[in-house]
């Protein structure tokens, strides 16, 4: 949580990109050069959710935000240090507090209300997560990024680990015993 916060505030966009790329296996490209950060007319927006809603109204922005906003918003209950919170702002000044809404909709249209429901939806496809973990382990273990040609081997590693319910130990074992790992 701390890596995706600036020390005093959180960003559902930064957290969402981090989770999407490192845990869910989604590639999020950098924003187009002609699109400012969150500045396309956000007048009237009172929260980060409102600002991003207006930002997503631009088609070029929506393509990526549909992937990164769901995991980003579901983690907003965690403050910059990872401590649970129900409100933005200081509890000392009730006027400045705003209740956090972690609910959202996944890119495929499935809705969730909180972290538990998000986790259940994501875990409906454990092979995708296992492939992502296998790819990250392969990169770490070999010091080389995965190439397109490596995709089949990584998917086979995930498939083999299904026999052990995609457990981390099984994924690690299949990574280090794979031809890809041994020859890279």
pLDDT (tens digit per residue) in 78-117: 999 899 999 887 655 555 678 899 999 999 999 999 999 9
Q: Token digits for 134?
A: 């296998």
Tell whether 142 and 90 lie within a shared domain.
Answer: no
The number of domains in the chain is: 2
d(CA 84, CA 133) in angstroms, rounded, equals 26
**What rounded mean pLDDT belongs to the chain?**
86
Is the whole-model pTM more than 0.85? no
Asked, for residue 137, whether it belongs to a domain, the answer is: yes
pLDDT exceeds cutoff 70 at 35: no
Q: Which one of 92, 122, 152 terminates a domain?
A: 122
Would residue 95 count as lying in a domain?
A: yes
Half-sphere exposure of 129 (CA within 13 A, CB side): 15
Alpha carbon distance 16, 101 (integer Å): 15
Residues 23 and 111 grouped into a single domain: yes
State which residues form the domain around 92. Answer: 12-122
Residue 70 inside a domain? The answer is yes
Looking at the fold, whether 112 and 79 belong to one and the same domain comes out as yes
Residue 152 lies in a domain: yes
Q: What is the pLDDT of residue 71?
A: 95
């Amino acid at each position: 949580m701390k890596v995706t916060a600036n020390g005093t505030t959180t960003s559902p966009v930064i957290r969402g990109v981090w989770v999407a790329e490192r845990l869910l296996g989604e590639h999020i490209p950098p924003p187009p050069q002609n699109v400012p950060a969150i500045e396309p007319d956000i007048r009237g927006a009172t929260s980060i959710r409102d600002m991003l809603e207006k930002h997503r109204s631009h088609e070029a922005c929506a393509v990526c935000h549909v992937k990164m906003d769901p995991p980003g918003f579901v983690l907003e209950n965690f403050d910059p240090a990872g401590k649970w919170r129900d409100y933005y702002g200081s509890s000392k000044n009730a006027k400045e507090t705003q209740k956090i809404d972690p609910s959202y909709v996944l890119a495929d249209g499935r809705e969730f209300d909180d972290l538990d429901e998000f986790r259940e939806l994501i875990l409906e496809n454990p092979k995708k997560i296992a492939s992502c973990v296998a790819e990250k382990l392969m990169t770490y273990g070999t010091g080389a990024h995965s190439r397109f040609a490596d995709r089949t081997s990584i998917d086979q590693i995930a498939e083999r680990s299904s026999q052990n319910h995609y457990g981390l130990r099984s994924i690690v074992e299949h990574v280090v015993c794979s031809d890809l790992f041994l020859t890279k």
